[in-house]
Structure 1
């Protein structure tokens, strides 16, 4: 895994599918009501800023992962402590996403199956792929990207021709002004999904065409933001604000309301495929980054040996983090996102970039 190389296009597909992740199927920016699509676009602009922070650090240390340059910037002891906290963060987020996707599949498709079984099967496939390294993950993402593109395109066409889209549900625009939209964008939607781009700081050094990293990243984030905004607007247009904000999975409710020519209906399979493809990619990347960070931190020569033990840890954490889905979502939105995500995605990277700027300016001088 250490000597792997991926192309800029593979980076693009990884980021795009990663950003879709659970953001496509869970309620996004629901506090902004009918202006949710606008909050997503504003959060995307903030996501660009965070991407530039990670890209600037990558330019300073193009051959080092964050776990290594943290030790250069903060000293060996403090750098290792911070790197260890990042490992815990990546493991917890991987477990949280695994729990979310497990809950979705149990709710929608497998109500009689214990969530532990669903999560165990999910993580087993992910561990097997991660064990093969970033090149295999990247090649898989290329194939899944084509499948996802066809699913999104056909799903959107079906929404349009079924007549469920009612643009008037998006009015009035800016009913309560810009402030609640900006608040939603920068207290919720920035961290999920756009701030999670932090994981790619560890993957950037594996890209062959270094000059294309910035372009691939910005294009992927821009496209994902636009598509997420489009589907958020589509959900509100189809369901109305009240139903969208109260639906556990708004996209599922929208898909279930599609009916074409009196026979094409109950297209829940679309939702299940969205869940499996995006969940698979997102958990794989978080898991891979956690695995790689541990191997860098503790100087493990063969990181793949840690894959199965770490898979068990992620599985157990996913089961222990909450007793039910409601408790899980409350903990994530009230505690984890505003405090933990804000620290790891925004505050610490900015702090590291400031130190890197002054240290490298001294060298240049």
Structure 2
């Protein structure tokens, strides 16, 4: 591990930026229809339970990475295999977010630019940031989180002032409670909330270990509220049908803003949020893959892995799907079941049970 330390406030900022990222612009929880805002709040609460699992594992092994204590818990052979699978999982998620950003910018801002060029520019910035280390990533987060929240508040105020909100679009409330619960446990829990499993790779760098639980719960609560407000805002403007059909309903909402025939066409706000959030998500995932690989293969200078792993992530993002529709379909119906479920929930719970049993025997 590099000799770096991250404060609790920096961890708070990183979790918020990571969870908001590109997910802030997507119809998160729209499977709950009128109750999409409630789906996000429930998913945030459930993800806090998952965070307690990750934190409990961290308490058993506070000074080493998950890719190391996996060997201690299930043996060197199986532990190294599981650690390698987690590294692949982090790289796959980084590539999927990179593809999301590239496709979105291609569609709404740079239609004549090749996807490979857009993705390459972003991954080069990510590679440089990861090369500089976790402290630089955290400090950059402290600067940009302020801009992100100012943009969110600005959009909220502009939508209110433009008179687009129709509260009746949010009714009836809890029309189908079963569907709300189903949406939480089949969609929203995994993305974006369950993805905080990556932060188990950052916990050993914290300089205030006792504040990890409080910081994590507070950050998840804040992002849950932001998602709930943004979905309530979007549905109240567009309605359930249009929100569910749109890939980027927040963009459609922003495009609807028109005040005094002067303030309009604020698409640039959408692009800024997309780039800032997506950049941090790809960066954190790439960093987790780099330090995990370095420990797994006993490489003394993790920074040397930044460039090759960054290039691999870029290549995976290009071949992961033939088009954007296929990319979205895989994310909703394949990745959630075969990747997010085991790596976010099943494996951590099993590892915690094994750690508990071993501690009792000792």
- Fold equivalence (TM over 0.5): yes
Find the counterpart in structure 2 of residue 102 from structure 1: 102
1:209 and 1:81 map into 2 onto residues whose CA distance is 31
Cα-to-partner distance string for 1:119-178 (whole Å, 9 max, x where unaligned): 000000000000000000000000011111111111111111111111110001122x21
Structure 1 counterpart of 2:224: 225
**Partner in structure 2 of residue 319 of structure 1:** 318
Q: CA deviation at 1:240?
A: 0.5
The equivalent residue for 2:192 is: 193
346-355 or 20-29, which deviates more: 20-29
SS in 2 for 1:27: coil
Work out the number of aligned pairs and report it.
Answer: 362
Residues 143-158 of structure 1 mapped to structure 2, 5 A cutoff: 143-158=143-158
Measured after TM superposition, the shift of residue 360 of structure 1 is 1.1
Structure 2 counterpart of 1:61: 61
* Distance in 1, Cα, partners of 2:234 & 2:29: 12
C-alpha separation between the residues in 1 aligned to 2:21 and 2:224? 12
Alpha-carbon distance in structure 2 between the residues aligned to 1:123 and 1:333: 24
SS in 2 for 1:24: helix
Aligned ranges 1:194-209 → 2 under 5 Å: 194-209=193-208
> Hey, what does 2:113 align to over in structure 1?
113
Aligned to 1:273: 272
CA distance in 1, matches of 2:241, 2:101: 24
> 4+ residue stretches of structure 1 with deviation over 2 A?
none
CA shift for structure 1 position 23 = 1.3
**C-alpha contact (below 8 Å) 1:188/1:338 kept by paired residues:** no
Unaligned stretches of 5+ residues in structure 1:
none
The TM-score with structure 1 as length reference comes to 0.98
**Is 1:303 aligned with 2:284?**
no
In structure 2, runs of 5+ residues without a counterpart are none
SS of the residue 1:272 aligns to: helix
Quote the residue 2:80 is aligned against.
Answer: 80
1:147-296 maps to which residues of 2 (within 5 A)? 147-175=147-175, 177-296=176-295
Distance 2:149 2:29 in 1: 23
Are 2:331 and 1:332 aligned?
yes
Task: Give the aligned partner of residue 50 of structure 1.
Answer: 50
Secondary structure in 1 aligned to 2:312? helix
Would the aligned equivalents of 1:5 and 1:135 in 2 still touch at CA under 8 Å? yes
Structure 1 counterpart of 2:35: 35
Q: Distance in 2 between matches of 1:2 and 1:312?
A: 22
CA positional deviation for 1:339: 2.2
Q: Does residue 128 in structure 1 map to residue 128 in structure 2?
A: yes
Mapped to 1, the partners of 2:174 and 2:211 lie a distance apart of 37
**Would you say the 8 A contact 1:65–1:202 is kept in 2?**
yes
1:356 aligns to 2:355 (yes or no)? yes
What secondary structure is seen at the aligned counterpart in 1 of 2:163? coil
Q: Is the Cα–Cα contact under 8 Å of residues 244 and 250 in structure 1 kept in the other structure?
A: yes
